[in-house]
Chains A and B, each alone.
Chain A
Amino acid sequence: MGVISVSELVKTFGGTRALDGLDLRVEAGEVHGFLGPNGAGKSTTIRILLGLLRHDSGTVRLFDADPWRDAVSLHRRLAYVPGDVNLWPNLSGGEAIDLFGALRGGLDRNRRDALLRRFELDPTKKCRAYSKGNRQKVAIVAALAADVELLVLDEPTSGLDPLMESVFQDEVRRFSRAGGTVLLSSHVLAEVEALCDRVSIIREGRTVESGTLTELRHLTRTSVTVETERPLTGLDRLPGVNPVEVGDHHAHLEVEPQHLAALLSHLLSFGVRALTSTPPTLEELFLRHYGPGPDPAATSTPVGAVAPAGPAGATADRRGDR
């Protein structure tokens, strides 16, 4: 039995079907990325796991117990950082941290102080004076200073600057090395790539992919736009390159990371005037791979659009794995 096991989970809000048969399985000791565009149902799933919402159908188990009925005892074993951290405006940050610690059943004071220093958080400021990022730090410090087996993090870094994000990643790794389990929801692919052993990708309330990062590597193609002095040729012979749009002196390509070097050296021989390369956003990936009906990206890709495995096939494969 895993730490979290969810299957066929359904949750409706009035007419909206927020979760529509979602599956999620997190094993002890792993850092599990929970990916999906905004509105996919990540927060709803997490709130059901925390016994804040009831579910309509399907099964949800947390530490092999019922998260609604056994909420109080289960919560001693986990710490949660909400996506949108809100605090009591007239308490100081330090008071809020201590309060969450005490309500959870105690916290490690030395760890707390060390974390405050690492995150450069002033605990004497009133919560109403904190920015979003600082409120998030309060919740992160409170969670990391707790002595728990599971961290549930809902887009925890959306307000942090890059420096703090790397401190956060360090701390999550340290927690994981000590044997802890992490569920990290995010819509930022890079963050998940940096931290997670396994990933579940959801969209519109369903799990569309689940597996290790290597298994999902085909999703992370870099998009390259280039302008050259001489006309471009021979692009379609390069391995791992998907030409999206190719003109005489310019091209928009997608390339798998391991073939990026080969592509660049090929391009250099045409005299590069300008080049930009960006990792695809998750939203783009979803549009391209799982878009409903006519896909705006697909209709504008006249040249050799390579259709990857459809959602049904991919999902079925992954599910077959377990």
Chain B
Amino acid sequence: MSALTGTGSLTRLVLRRDRVMLGLWLLGLPLLAASLAVSMADIYGGDQERIGYATTATSSLVARVFNGPIHGTSLGAVVATESFLTLAVLTALLSTFAVVRHTRQNEETGRAELLGSSVLGRHALLTAALLVVVGANLLAAVGLAVALVAAGLPVTGSVAAAAAIGAIGVSFTAVAAVTAQLAGTSRGANALAAAALGAAFALRALGDVLGDANPDGIGFTSAWPSWLSPMGWSGQLRPFGDERWWVLLLPAGLLAVAVAVAYRLTDRRDLGAGLLAERRGPAVAATRMLSPVGLAWHLHRGTLLGWVVGIGLVGFAMGVAVDEFDDLIAENAAAAEMINQFGGGDVLVDAYLSAMLAIFALTVGAYVVQALLRARTEETDGILEAVLATSVNRITWLGGHLLTTVLGATGLVLVGGISTGLGEGLATGDPVGRMLALAGAALVRLPALLVLAGVVVLLIGLLPRAAVPLSWAALLLFLLLGQLGTVLDLPQRVLDLSPFTHVPAVPATDVTALPLVVLTTVAAVLVTAGLAGYRRRDLTT
């Protein structure tokens, strides 16, 4: 029996288990790219706008950090640069999760043991996962190329841009193949791969920030750290510029090395064991976590910290960008128009800031839904059963999660405002004043988030089985109404469905108390109804 025996039938199994996921991936990614390309064709239709964009992308450090290099002033170059981060991160995460799901997670749940006892080679599981995920990346790249060409971009550049994204997928497939052998749990394997993604981002950002601008002020040559990063390679392929196809050898080489390493590691470890020891915890619980609220805080704080860092960094960058923003607006009427509509004010910088804060509020909405649904997940996971068999009452329990979530959301909204204010203040002078002003402006969004929390509590209390999908659906609806409402010219009655429609667009407009009071009251009613339902219903797993 060879180490690969059974790979074929396992591959079919992986395809079967993931058919929905793969379908979404292969259709969703090209669609997303096509829609980005079409919407950018609108905004950057004129030569002047594109030259403006390319100049900013070269001169702005913030743009260099987030978008990477730009190669020329063609529409393709703008699209490739502007959509790079989104597509790259999505592809890297999809690939990582897929590899880990079919390797480490199989071992964790004992499925692999079941499979391993039948006629399977040692490497079959890993190989099957790699075949499917690399295959998915190649197909997705073909789809991407077709989508970009269909959106009206030149063929060669489209193929290069698609290959650049596919290369990232292949690279992180390789990374995940190794982390799945190192970590003892799927969570650990995903976390290690995500850390690698973070490092890849940081190295590329550093290389691009240190890069020398071209003499004509359009585009720059990345410094060496970019070459150490799989995310950097994609920019070095120069899609829509003078393509350097040989760069594609780098991800291919990484894959070959990673597969060899992962095979060696599989040979040297027991099934189910990781090479890195699982982190241990304290033998005795700290007193402060020994209450419903204390425990909720303990469980939420790790996630919350991640959110604080993320929102803080983005806020700071957005704040710094205010300074560069004036130039950009001067050059681009369509972008100015869009920001004006979204922010709802006259003074452009205030409209921009208001738009930023509105986006932060919706982003914090995702935290609210995620954090509160933990209460429901604990119920479906069967943890709650043992908890409610102690002398904790249900209201205290759900209330603990609600309180922690609301405090977390308040903190996040403030972090968004303060970091934006700090960035803006450092760039333009008066950091303290801007921090205070934007912290206040951000806090005005909180009542809308309270209504969202109320919706989730109501769903948990009254419709437990549908609570998870419906809560996310509610957030998605609010997001779409906020993003597309004005663009699609929806009637005000429909826009009013979203609590985020009702918060004053500070700092672009003045604060009015009435909507805030009404929103808070609505939130209180929703929460009360939800808690009442929660107290009366069966535990539902």
Query: Interface residues, chain A, CB within 8 Å of chain B?
Result: 47, 50-54, 71-73, 75-76, 78-80, 82, 84-92, 94-95, 97-100, 102-105, 123-126, 128-129, 139, 152
Name the residue of chain B whose CB is nearest to the CB of A87: B383
Q: Do B391 and A54 have beta carbons less than 8 Å apart? A: no
Assess A95 versus B381: contact at CB under 8 Å? Given A52-B538, A52-B539: no
Q: Report the bound CA distance from A73 to B387 in whole Å.
A: 14
Nearest Cβ in chain B — how far from A113, in angstroms? 9
**Which stretch from B173-181, B220-228, B274-282 is at the chain A interface?**
B274-282
- 8 Å CB interface, B285-337 against A: 285, 289-292, 295, 299, 302
List of B residues within 8 angstroms of A82 by Cβ: 382, 385-386, 389
Most chain A CB within 10 A, of B187, B381, B389, B392, is at B389
List of A residues within 8 angstroms of B289 by Cβ: 95, 99
List of B residues within 8 angstroms of A52 by Cβ: 385, 388-389, 538-539
List of A residues within 8 angstroms of B285 by Cβ: 91, 94-95, 97-99, 102
> Mask for B386-399, Cβ within 8 A of A = 1, else 0?
11111111000000
Q: Do B290 and A71 have beta carbons less than 8 Å apart? A: no
Q: Do B185 and A73 have beta carbons less than 8 Å apart? A: no
Q: Report the bound CA distance from A104 to B387 in whole Å.
A: 9
Q: Report the bound CA distance from A75 to B390 in whole Å.
A: 5
> Mask for B242-282, Cβ within 8 A of A = 1, else 0?
00000000000000000000000000000000000011111
Q: Report the bound CA distance from A84 to B382 in whole Å.
A: 8
Q: Do A72 and B392 have beta carbons less than 8 Å apart? A: yes
Q: Do B281 and A126 have beta carbons less than 8 Å apart? A: yes
Q: Report the bound CA distance from A139 to B382 in whole Å.
A: 13
Assess A47 versus B390: contact at CB under 8 Å? Given A94-B281, A98-B284, A129-B184: no
Name the residue of chain B whose CB is nearest to the CB of A129: B278
Q: Do A73 and B391 have beta carbons less than 8 Å apart? A: yes
Q: Do A129 and B283 have beta carbons less than 8 Å apart? A: no
List of B residues within 8 angstroms of A124 by Cβ: 280-283
Assess A100 versus B539: contact at CB under 8 Å? Given A91-B281, A126-B278: no
Q: Report the bound CA distance from A253 to B285 in whole Å.
A: 56
Nearest Cβ in chain B — how far from A292, in angstroms? 28
Name the residue of chain B whose CB is nearest to the CB of A123: B283
Q: Report the bound CA distance from A104 to B78 in whole Å.
A: 61
Q: Do B390 and A100 have beta carbons less than 8 Å apart? A: yes
Q: Do B295 and A94 have beta carbons less than 8 Å apart? A: no
Q: Report the bound CA distance from A185 to B187 in whole Å.
A: 34
Name the residue of chain B whose CB is nearest to the CB of A104: B390
List of A residues within 8 angstroms of B282 by Cβ: 92, 94-95, 124
Name the residue of chain B whose CB is nearest to the CB of A92: B281
Q: Do B283 and A86 have beta carbons less than 8 Å apart? A: no
Interface residues of B, dominant DSSP: loop
Name the residue of chain B whose CB is nearest to the CB of A94: B283
Q: Report the bound CA distance from A88 to B187 in whole Å.
A: 14
List of B residues within 8 angstroms of A105 by Cβ: 390-391
Name the residue of chain B whose CB is nearest to the CB of A112: B284
Most chain B CB within 10 A, of A47, A98, A105, A152, is at A98
List of A residues within 8 angstroms of B187 by Cβ: 89, 128
Name the residue of chain B whose CB is nearest to the CB of A51: B388
Q: Report the bound CA distance from A50 to B538 in whole Å.
A: 11
| 23 pairs, CB–CB < 8 Å, chain A vs chain B | A50-B388, A52-B538, A52-B539, A78-B389, A79-B389, A82-B382, A84-B382, A86-B381, A88-B383, A91-B281, A91-B285, A92-B280, A94-B282, A94-B283, A94-B285, A98-B284, A100-B386, A100-B390, A103-B387, A103-B390, A123-B284, A124-B281, A125-B278
List of A residues within 8 angstroms of B184 by Cβ: 129
Q: Besides the contacts A47-B539, A92-B282, what 17 more A-B pairs have beta carbons closer than 8 Å?
A: A47-B385, A52-B385, A73-B391, A75-B390, A75-B392, A82-B385, A82-B389, A86-B386, A90-B302, A99-B285, A99-B289, A105-B390, A123-B284, A126-B279, A126-B281, A129-B278, A139-B386
Q: Report the bound CA distance from A82 to B385 in whole Å.
A: 8
Q: Report the bound CA distance from A53 to B388 in whole Å.
A: 11
Q: Report the bound CA distance from A78 to B386 in whole Å.
A: 12
Assess A102 versus B291: contact at CB under 8 Å? Given A95-B282, A125-B280, A126-B278: yes
Q: Do B280 and A94 have beta carbons less than 8 Å apart? A: no
- Residue of A51, A78, A100, A125 near B281 (CB, 8 A) is A125
Name the residue of chain B whose CB is nearest to the CB of A96: B285
Q: Report the bound CA distance from A73 to B383 in whole Å.
A: 21
Q: How many residues of B contact A (CB 8 A)?
A: 33
The 3 closest A-B pairs by CB, nearest first: A92-B281, A98-B285, A102-B290
Nearest Cβ in chain B — how far from A122, in angstroms? 8
List of A residues within 8 angstroms of B290 by Cβ: 98-99, 102-103
Q: Report the bound CA distance from A281 to B379 in whole Å.
A: 33
Nearest Cβ in chain A — how far from B462, in angstroms? 15
Name the residue of chain A whose CB is nearest to the CB of B396: A72
List of A residues within 8 angstroms of B393 by Cβ: 71-72
List of B residues within 8 angstroms of A89 by Cβ: 187
- Residue of A50, A53, A86 near B383 (CB, 8 A) is A86
Q: Report the bound CA distance from A264 to B248 in whole Å.
A: 79
Nearest Cβ in chain B — how far from A111, in angstroms? 14
Name the residue of chain B whose CB is nearest to the CB of A52: B539
Q: Do B291 and A88 have beta carbons less than 8 Å apart? A: no
Nearest Cβ in chain B — how far from A295, in angstroms? 34
Most chain A CB within 10 A, of B290, B295, B390, B393, is at B390
Q: Do B538 and A53 have beta carbons less than 8 Å apart? A: yes
Q: Do B185 and A92 have beta carbons less than 8 Å apart? A: no
List of B residues within 8 angstroms of A78 by Cβ: 389
Q: Report the bound CA distance from A88 to B383 in whole Å.
A: 7
> Mask for B351-391, Cβ within 8 A of A = 1, else 0?
00000000000000000000000000010011101111111
List of A residues within 8 angstroms of B278 by Cβ: 125-126, 129
List of A residues within 8 angstroms of B281 by Cβ: 90-92, 94-95, 124-126
Nearest Cβ in chain A — how far from B341, in angstroms? 43
Q: Report the bound CA distance from A75 to B381 in whole Å.
A: 21
Name the residue of chain A whose CB is nearest to the CB of B186: A128
Most chain A CB within 10 A, of B184, B283, B381, B393, is at B283
Assess A99 versus B295: contact at CB under 8 Å? Given A53-B538, A54-B538, A82-B386: yes
Assess A92 versus B391: contact at CB under 8 Å? Given A52-B385, A125-B278: no
List of B residues within 8 angstroms of A54 by Cβ: 538
- Residue of A72, A87, A99 near B391 (CB, 8 A) is A72
Nearest Cβ in chain B — how far from A104, in angstroms? 4
- 8 Å CB interface, B376-425 against A: 378, 381-383, 385-393
Q: Do A103 and B391 have beta carbons less than 8 Å apart? A: yes
List of B residues within 8 angstroms of A50 by Cβ: 388-389
Q: Report the bound CA distance from A91 to B291 in whole Å.
A: 14
Q: Do A92 and B283 have beta carbons less than 8 Å apart? A: yes
Q: Report the bound CA distance from A98 to B290 in whole Å.
A: 7
Assess A126 versus B280: contact at CB under 8 Å? Given A53-B539, A54-B538, A84-B382: yes
Name the residue of chain B whose CB is nearest to the CB of A86: B382
List of B residues within 8 angstroms of A99 by Cβ: 285, 289-290, 295
Nearest Cβ in chain B — how far from A125, in angstroms? 7
Q: Report the bound CA distance from A51 to B381 in whole Å.
A: 19
Q: Do B280 and A75 have beta carbons less than 8 Å apart? A: no
- Residue of B280, B387, B391, B539 near A76 (CB, 8 A) is B391
List of B residues within 8 angstroms of A129 by Cβ: 184-185, 278
Q: Do A80 and B538 have beta carbons less than 8 Å apart? A: no
List of A residues within 8 angstroms of B391 by Cβ: 72-73, 75-76, 103-105
